[in-house]
Structure 1
């Protein structure tokens, strides 16, 4: 019976949290924000663009045809409708009335795109390129040469060392999301765990509880309960994110992202368990709720360090920290996502994290057990370590 008492403690932690309105509302709000952000991305990526272009001369008509071909060829969701006005005044009036988005006309030295308040950026970029190419072609023909000959050797392309630009963007965005999830879970559930411990200690309820079950079982149950809650919340966020990603233009990266998320789940469970034990110790060292802020300060700084390292660490520092617990809980999955870490490095980092977690659990168990029933005031780590059982 006593051997499985931790299950009762874990169940109590879960039920207490699930009946907390603030927790439920906060979780639903974060899900809503994530879903909305992905929904906007999906909407923007799938939205069709329609532009109306008016001209008032034969030369402008030919140029508008080139713009139409270029715009619709570059994006199958773009449609350009052409119209002809009898003169410049009529073309201007169409733009003023909103019947046309852009008036294409010849200027004193080139071509002019005129809009009512602004020229749509996408159309401006395509039109600029199309008009330049068409003009170069005409000039080259007049000079007895070709555009290809004039432009030979002037092409500029871009490349990245690791994958393409879209993959780099997805790796950065998902990496930030994973780091944020780990930070929020560690800080939110960890602080709640510390406060729960000190509240039971301050009210002397813990003295009654420990007469029925061992202190180690109490610690195990509290960590397990909060780990289950944090994991469930994280799994919901990740599921919403992956489903949302499938509706965006980046859906081709789902296999790579899913593989990295699998590693993140494994690292999350071990890393959160490590930090949760330390948060429980922070609560046990305090005698009042007010003391938790000071007893948990080193842990708060460590959690923030992990988060900022995931955002800012680069190069060799990033590689080294991806093997150092608890930084590896976030950095190694990010490196897997970026494609810079093979599976054996991830497995090695996970093994080191498990070993570190085992050591932390042993130390935290002693500190928790020897400080939990001390109610005379806030304890230091040295005092807790040397206090007899």
Structure 2
């Protein structure tokens, strides 16, 4: 009967889909993955929109010129100038929390005003731009060629490992992949083993064996549960990809996207191999209570082990044999 394994696989799929526990478990995993991605994105930091109080056009121009530096230091962050009538009004806005800082002129140059602290990125950008513009004005007033004055002072950056910042995210992604594989393998593998034992206990397998080859029964169970496991993994990986795209983590998505595709491909191979082992474990048990001894490591076969040289090979080379102590 050539198509028997397909019938068995369809029965395994339809029976499992109809179970509420299966649907609820997928829903819980999807919600958990989405919440994990959103929480990681929130805790990992988001772009900041800085608001700086100014009192004249000159300081407003400095704030506008600092926008590229802000974006380079913290990708996606912006800076906006808020006009006030006086320095006192700008300081009052800082105290009230209407602006993050204020930039005002002083006799010595400029002053960045904050309430209890000033953001380092904001302070560095404003200080750098203000100093640069003041230097250009002084060089022009002294009739000095500023380009020749600063020639050779440019400092560039070059990263030997530009992807090192994603190392933590890659490690976390690998851990999540391993955890998903473990949960899926245990959950669906135990289902295969329990299904085999139930049919043996109820003696249904004797009836099925008369009409369907045993090999077809085995392959039907493996294929059916493998399809369900693959469907669950695809849903969970797709949820993670969509959550990363919606939270704006495009760089991270481009880094782990190929890994997710390879994970699905290798998951199929690994789970099919494990499914065969779970089916064997179920066939070795005669009752549901015996599944623990066939699916988990069993050390009872050598309760009090000891090693002694084997008499046959004692003269040639030492060897060890493990035997059970028994009462006589």
Q: TM-score range by the shorter chain?
A: 0.5 to 0.7
- Pick closer, same or farther for the CA change 1:95–1:212 going to 2, 3 Å: same
Corresponding residue number in structure 2 for 1:159: 160
Contact 2:60 2:81 in 1 (8 A): no
- Structure 2: how far apart are the matches of 1:235 and 1:261? 9
Corresponding residue number in structure 2 for 1:9: 8
Displacement of 1:151 after TM fit? Answer: 8.2
Corresponding residue number in structure 1 for 2:21: 22
- Structure 2: how far apart are the matches of 1:67 and 1:127? 11
- Which has the higher mean CA deviation after the structures are superposed, 151-160 or 265-274? 151-160
Report the secondary structure of 2:3's partner residue: helix
Corresponding residue number in structure 1 for 2:131: 135
Displacement of 1:129 after TM fit? Answer: 3.0
Report the secondary structure of 1:80's partner residue: strand
Contact 1:103 1:115 in 2 (8 A): no
Contact 2:59 2:104 in 1 (8 A): no
Aligned: 1:100 with 2:99: yes
Contact 1:66 1:131 in 2 (8 A): no
- Pick closer, same or farther for the CA change 1:129–1:49 going to 2, 3 Å: closer
Contact 1:105 1:111 in 2 (8 A): yes
- Pick closer, same or farther for the CA change 1:298–1:83 going to 2, 3 Å: farther
Give the aligned length.
286
- Structure 2: how far apart are the matches of 1:193 and 1:84? 72
Structure 1 unaligned segments of length 5 or more: list them: 300-389
- Structure 2: how far apart are the matches of 1:145 and 1:292? 86
Structure 2 unaligned segments of length 5 or more: list them: 299-328
Contact 2:222 2:272 in 1 (8 A): yes
Provide, for residues 267-289 of structure 1, a one-character-per-residue CA deviation record: whole Å limited to 9, x for no partner: 22221100111112222333443
- Structure 1: how far apart are the matches of 2:131 and 2:21? 64
Provide, for residues 118-166 of structure 1, a one-character-per-residue CA deviation record: whole Å limited to 9, x for no partner: 65x5xx4143233135336646958979698498375444231xx6457
Over aligned residues, Cα RMSD in angstroms? Answer: 4.4
- Structure 1: how far apart are the matches of 2:289 and 2:100? 62
* 1:24-173 to 2 correspondences below 5 Å: 24-35=23-34, 50-55=49-54, 62=58, 65-71=61-67, 74=71, 78-88=78-88, 90-104=89-103, 111-115=111-115, 124-135=120-131, 138=134, 149=150, 152=153, 154-160=155-161, 164=163
* 1:209-224 to 2 correspondences below 5 Å: 209-224=208-223
TM-score (norm 2): 0.66
Corresponding residue number in structure 2 for 1:185: 184
Displacement of 1:17 after TM fit? Answer: 1.1
- Pick closer, same or farther for the CA change 1:85–1:72 going to 2, 3 Å: farther
- Structure 2: how far apart are the matches of 1:191 and 1:55? 67
Contact 1:106 1:112 in 2 (8 A): no
